[in-house]
Chains A and B, each alone.
Chain A
Amino acid sequence: MLGLDRRRLSLPPDVQRWGLRLISIGVFALGWQLLAHRMHSLLLPSFSETLTALLSLLVTPELWQALWVSNQAMVLGFGAAVFVGILVGFLMARVRAAEQFLDPYLNILLVIPMGALVPILIMATGLGLFTRVLIVFSFAVVVITVNTRAGLQTIESGWIEMAQSFGATERQLWRQILLPGALPAILTGLRLGMARAISAKLYVEQIQLALGIGRLNQDIQGGFDSANLYATIAVVVGEAVILIQALKWIERRATPWTEPSVVE
């Protein structure tokens, strides 16, 4: 244990954590500001300019419209991925034939880069909402499926045997053992799936289709308005961070037993 014992400042843990986070952001902002002043370039806005642009951007209806367009694909695609991913994960864990039938596709989807799959999907299905939903879905559904399957497969056989020894029916086995046993892995799958969904959405909009936030972005880029460009990127990053943190929070709340704890 000695080797793992990290040094701590003698502050309350919460104060230290938030204090250091704020200082970290402060140092980053200051560095940016100094660098921008030094370079004095049209292409690198200063931190303060970006912040001002961000604040004014947040009150324009264009931003919210763009976010709405962007997130339609996100909500539909990710929603479908959650539903299908969990269902197929369960199927693959319990039915051997389903596992053997679907595993090759899952492996392909898992390793294929976005740059390879997205042009094919656009060519096959056009430029509409359906295509974007399909792309978000394709990238999110794999990790959700894989994690759900792994969650079920790694359930301790001892729990199942124990429940059976108390006369558990098949229904009770699902409800009392398999679902709660797989829940931590499923939730991790949702978080990883969300991360993939976000990058898929951004990739399509920024590089391929120029829609929603991506459209807004390209308009700004065309005008060499670097501060606004940085501000839209900040909005995109901000949304991603909020979504991922929200899922982390749900994970912690829903599966408190997975948190390391000490004997009192």
Chain B
Amino acid sequence: MIELCDCRKTFISKHAQAPVVALDGVSLTIQTQQFVCVLGPSGCGKTTLLKAIAGLLVLDSGEVRIDGAHVAGPGSDRAMVFQNFALLPWADVISNVAFGLELRGAPKAEREAKAHALIVAVGLSGFERHFPRQLSGGMQQRVGLARALAVDPDILLMDEPFGSVDEQTRRLLQEDLLALLDRTRKTVVFVTHSVDEAARLGDRVVLMTPRPGRVQEEVDVPLPRPRPTDVELNPIFLERKEYLWQRLQAMQTR
């Protein structure tokens, strides 16, 4: 279980006079093995929230706890998937996937075996020795996903992972992600600005408002798992999507 208690984080900005309040009194509880989507317009602190859980930043006040323990930095129970993939251009696919394992001191044979299995799982077998720049955006993110899964984390933190690929690729990646997670249930915190994506993937959608970044509302999406591929015909999906869409619009015209 992930708990955020009254988290506050400000940044000094060169452009703004006053510090930008990225998170303002954010409290949130995420149950183990729940898939939570964090939805909101850009600049609402979604990524800051994710980094706080990852332990990549120091909060001004408040606390993040995982299973009751205070989060002071990154830990082996969490792994992150990045919007711009953050692959190392000098390393081939298998070394990129094995990167987290390498940092944790796993022997070469073990980490390559594990990495290979995940490369197969994300549908990239045959590309082990390719460099990232030889791959399309969708394939690069598959590498990013495999790298995160390779360290076998309990919690997967995903920062708009499918934001920079085309619509078709995005749908394929979403389906493959859901299929992978059906096999190994994990707690997922998934940041997105797509209403469709949030309703399609999440058990619960956390709506955030910008300036200052606050949690506005939490919306349950009571759809069965595994999610059917024709979920777009499901009335619950359609109704939640429409509702979220309206809330988001109200936020932006406010």
- Mark A residues whose CB is within 8 Å of B: 156, 158-159, 161-168, 172, 176-177, 180-181, 183, 255-258, 261-264
Contact = CB atoms under 8 A, between A and B. Distances in A.
13 contacts: A156-B86, A158-B84, A159-B88, A161-B82, A161-B86, A163-B103, A166-B79, A172-B103, A176-B88, A183-B90, A256-B131, A261-B133, A263-B134
Contact of B86 (A158, A257, A258): A158
B56 A167 contact: no
B75 interface: yes
B89 interface: yes
B103 A176 contact: yes
Nearest to A180: B90
- Of the four ranges (under 10, 10 to 19, 20 to 34, 35 or more), the interface on chain B belongs to 20 to 34
A166 B99 contact: yes
Per DSSP, chain B at the interface is loop
A48 B40 CA distance: 77
B97 to A, nearest CB: 12
A186 to B, nearest CB: 13
A264 to B, nearest CB: 7
A223 B73 CA distance: 76
B163 interface: no
B91 to A, nearest CB: 8
Interface of B: 54, 56, 73-76, 78-80, 82, 84, 86, 88-90, 99-100, 102-104, 130-131, 133-136, 151
Given A166-B74, A180-B90, A257-B89, 18 more contacts: A156-B86, A158-B84, A161-B82, A162-B80, A162-B86, A163-B103, A165-B79, A166-B79, A167-B75, A167-B76, A168-B103, A172-B103, A255-B90, A261-B131, A263-B134, A263-B135, A264-B130, A264-B134
A176 B104 CA distance: 13
A164 B104 CA distance: 12
A177 B135 CA distance: 21
Given A158-B84, A165-B56, A165-B79, A257 B131 contact: yes
A66 to B, nearest CB: 42
Contact of A165 (B80, B88, B90, B136): B80
A251 to B, nearest CB: 13
B82 A158 contact: yes
The 8 closest A-B pairs by CB, nearest first: A162-B86, A166-B100, A158-B86, A165-B80, A257-B90, A180-B90, A167-B74, A257-B89
Given A159-B86, A261-B131, A263-B135, A167 B80 contact: no
Contacts of B136: 263
Contacts of B79: 165-166
